[in-house]
Chain A
Amino acid sequence: MQITGSELFVKALKKEKVDTLFAYPGGQVIDLFNALYGQKEMEVILPRHEQGLVHAADGYARSTGKVGVCLVTSGPGATNLVTGIATANYDSVPLVCFTGQVPTGLIGNDAFQEVDIVGITRSICKYAVTVRRREDLGMIIKKAFYIAKTGKPGVVLVDLPKDIQKALGSDSYPDKIDIRGYKPNTSVHNGQMKKAIGILNKAQRPVFLIGGGVNIAHANQEMLELAELTNVPVITTIMGKGVIPTTHKLYVGNIGIHGSFAANSAISECDVLFSIGTRFNDRITGKAGTFANNATIIHVDVDPASISRTIDVDIPIVSDAKKAIFALLEKATTLNTDEWLKKIENWKKQYPVEMKSQYMTPQNIILAINQIFKKAVITTDVGQNQLWATQFLELNEHKQMLTSGGLGTMGYGFPAAIGAKLGNPQKDVIVISGDGGIQMNIQELATAIVYELPIIICILNNGYLGNVRQWQELFFDKRYSSTCMRYRKCCDTTCNSPNKECPEYTPDFIKLAQSFGAKGIRVTKTNDIIPALQKAKENRKSPTIIEFIIEREANVMPIVPPGNALNDMILESEETAK
């Protein structure tokens, strides 16, 4: 049967079992929207901005394990996706993004709303392609979904010219696809694994360093079994956090420039570093040449290009995390690590990650979130709010954290929560954001209202772009350049401390919430945290903004100053310890 490209598009999405489509209409996708009209299998979500749209699809994908699907128009619709595509791709989130395009005959003519989106996104997605012939459409969509979700997952962009959407052609959609240049690795190299296990079994001070790859592979249960079987302590990157319950006795903490002293010290002193699913990003390694200097490093990653890139590895293993962990479970033995664990426990006790203050702290807020929500998806924005969340959030098989780890995209948290709530209606969805980041996609409050999504938005309001301000305080002599969110025209441009005369904050988040039809609660005291969260939890019909007025100059501690080794940290303000 002959059908239009648009009809084949809808058929393809149904075949790929897409249940939620994040879509914003426009001139060059009007045919596609026409084909979507009235169908019942897919819910079509209309966010308020394409950036919010793509982050929502990202949050949906991360929290459900399915592919997130976007549809936007050409030109500005497509360019508004760019940040979200880079965000998702950097964190290996499977997305398929469809963009409208001017008719093939007009491409290159600088037509209205024409951009070369394939060219623009080439370096920030896994694969990008323009459909140039109607007969290729089905095969290309099949390919897009296959590439997005296999191997190291990522973003695929499919550019759909208007004439392809209209053109009649075959209604067939392939069941299988074979791509000669793309064969994701499916097995574990036995010889390498044997060597790795041999080394692990002889270790005195071993650690597992676990990255986001294990969460992506959904190997959390197996990882827990492996840790318990071997008695080897587990350290995570930000993206790996939650891979085993954070309250587990073998869990040490996060590594990195805001990692815990215990985790960073354990990495520096371990004799075998068994890492799975991390790319040794510069945020976790500290000064080059000082990282895990005493250790034999074993590195498992699905992406060969991640291995021996920043850190020289002794035993590289290219494998999917889950397959590698299965192989390990077969051969690994219980190690006597009691003394090593005791040493780590002492580091933990000596320098715990905690905030001491007479005021309400982000730690108080996050601990209350831990206490109240038992089945939840928690999204973070980027900056101090994110770092505090990674320090204090309790995660386990019922609680997942979504955060923009690789790209560090402000404005990610709230729209991602919309996607997470759509994908997990039975779970509580909480956003931990700052006053800066929340304003980057605040328009999505309307989306949360119209789809009746009771998301709880916790804004940690310190009136600063706090993470940059912290760096300015610690490393730039308190020159608070463009980081004060309460700055007004009347202020001294060289002001470097908050005071009583500071202008009022704008916007008023409570009134803002109300204007959208959401609830707004302002919290200024520690005692009011739990009642506010409970009230928000009871609101099942609309989102709730809780604005927490926190100390203006609270810092994220500890921190590894730039150029220092991992265990050479500033532990508290004004105190440096080795």
Chain B
Amino acid sequence: MKKRWISLYVENDIGVLARISGLFSGKSYNLNSLTVGTTEDETISRMTISLTSDDKTFEQVKKQLNRSIEVIKVIDFTDVAVHRKEIMFIKVKNCTFQDMTELFRMAQIFNLKVIDYNKTTALMESINTEKINNDFVRLFANAFSNRIEIVRGGSVGIEAIN
């Protein structure tokens, strides 16, 4: 079992997302994350999908995706040089003054952008790889147990130039 990445060009039509996600659930493929947005051509959307599977299942996933009429192109991103980033919001609530000081210090050290705050609550933005964001979730969950709220966007990826 291994974590895999796929970049998918699809028709920007109603129902295509349902078709793709339905393929994963219907065939019991283990989907980790899926992001979708339009491309420079507004009739085409691009998805970044991550999943965990063995080699044989992954081959099937790619073939099944290719088989869908709405899928224009399947690119295996697993072992190629790509830039991958995920946006994540971390909100920390019910902070004391001391907490706030600590929070701002953490944000500075880990290069997180504080985008909103008041006396007791702060909102930070992290644009990092999925793995680094995982680390932040753990870090903040430890430091501010039961007071954090996390929203994650899922990874988007694009081929590296060099």
Q: For B68, list chain A residues within 8 Å (CB).
A: 181
Which of the segments B55-63, B107-115, B122-130, B136-144 contacts the partner chain? B55-63
Stretch at the interface among A29-37, A260-268, A301-309, A382-390: A301-309
A122 touching B18 by the CB < 8 A rule? yes
The answer to the question of B69 belonging to the interface, with a C-beta cut-off of 8 Å to chain A, is: yes
Instruction: Choose from B10, B11, B69 the contact partner of A147 (Cβ within 8 Å).
Output: B69
Interface residue ranges, A against B (CB under 8 Å):
118-119, 122-123, 126-130, 132, 147, 179-182, 303-305, 308-309
Cα distance A69–B29 in the bound complex, in angstroms: 33
Question: A123–B15 Cα gap in the complex (Å)?
Answer: 12
| Chain B, range 46-82, C-beta contacts under 8 Å to A | 56, 59-60, 63-64, 66-73
Instruction: Give A562 Cβ to nearest chain B Cβ, in Å.
Output: 21
Q: A126-B69, A181-B71 are in contact. Are A308 and B14 (CB under 8 A)?
A: no
Please give, as numbers and ranges, the residues of chain B lying within 8 Å of A118 by CB-CB distance.
15
Whose C-beta in chain A lies nearest to the C-beta of B15? A118
- Report the bound CA distance from A182 to B65 in whole Å: 11
* Residues of A with C-beta under 8 A to B18: 119, 122
Contacts of A130 in B (CB 8 A): 14-15
Smallest CB separation, B154 vs chain A (Å): 22
Across-interface contacts of B71 in A (CB, < 8 A) = 181
B interface residue count range (under 10 / 10 to 19 / 20 to 34 / 35 or more)? 20 to 34
Residues B15 and A308 in contact, CB atoms below 8 Å apart: no
Question: In the complex the two chains form, what is the Cα distance from A179 to B72 in whole Å?
Answer: 9
Q: Which of B14, B19, B67 sits near A305, CB closer than 8 Å?
A: B67
Name the distance in Å between B18's Cβ and chain A's nearest Cβ: 7
**Other-chain contact of B15, A119, A126, A305, A309 (Cβ < 8 Å):** A119
Provide the residues of chain B in CB contact with A179, threshold 8 Å: 69
| Residue in A129, A180, A181, A304 whose Cβ sees the most chain B Cβ within 10 Å | A181
Residues of A within 8 A of B19 (CB): 122
Nearest chain B residue, comparing its CB with the CB of A182: B69
Q: How far is the CA of A83 from the CA of B11 in the complex (A)?
A: 28
User: Do A123 and B14 touch across chains, with their CB atoms under 8 A apart?
Assistant: no
**Residues of B1-29 whose CB lies within 8 A of A:** 10-11, 14-15, 18-19, 22-23, 26
Residues of A within 8 A of B22 (CB): 122-123
Q: How near does chain A come to B67, taking the closest CB pair, in angstroms?
A: 5
- A127: nearest residue on chain B (CB-CB)? B69
The answer to whether B60 touches A181, judged by C-beta atoms less than 8 angstroms apart, is no
Chain B residue nearest in CB terms to A124: B26
Are the CB atoms of A308 and B56 closer together than 8 Å? yes
Q: How far is the CB of B39 from chain A (nearest CB, A)?
A: 13
Q: How far is the CB of A32 from chain B (nearest CB, A)?
A: 22
Given A123-B22, A180-B72, A303-B67, 18 other A-B residues pairs in contact with their CB atoms under 8 A: A118-B15, A122-B19, A128-B15, A129-B15, A132-B14, A179-B69, A181-B11, A181-B68, A181-B71, A181-B72, A181-B73, A182-B69, A304-B63, A304-B66, A305-B64, A305-B67, A308-B56, A309-B60
- Contact: B15 with A181, CB < 8 Å? no
* 29 pairs, A vs B, C-beta closer than 8 Å: A119-B15, A119-B18, A122-B15, A122-B18, A122-B19, A122-B22, A123-B22, A123-B23, A123-B26, A126-B69, A127-B69, A129-B15, A130-B14, A130-B15, A132-B14, A179-B69, A180-B72, A181-B10, A181-B11, A181-B69, A181-B72, A182-B69, A303-B67, A304-B63, A304-B67, A305-B63, A305-B64, A308-B56, A308-B59
Min CB–CB distance A310 → chain B (angstroms):
10
A181 to B22, CA, bound (A): 18
A304 to B65 alpha-carbon distance, docked (Å): 11
Alpha-carbon distance A116/B15, docked complex (angstroms)? 11
B95 to chain A, nearest CB (A): 43
- Which B residue sits closest to A126, measured CB to CB? B69
Whole-angstrom distance between the Cβ of A82 and the nearest chain B Cβ: 15
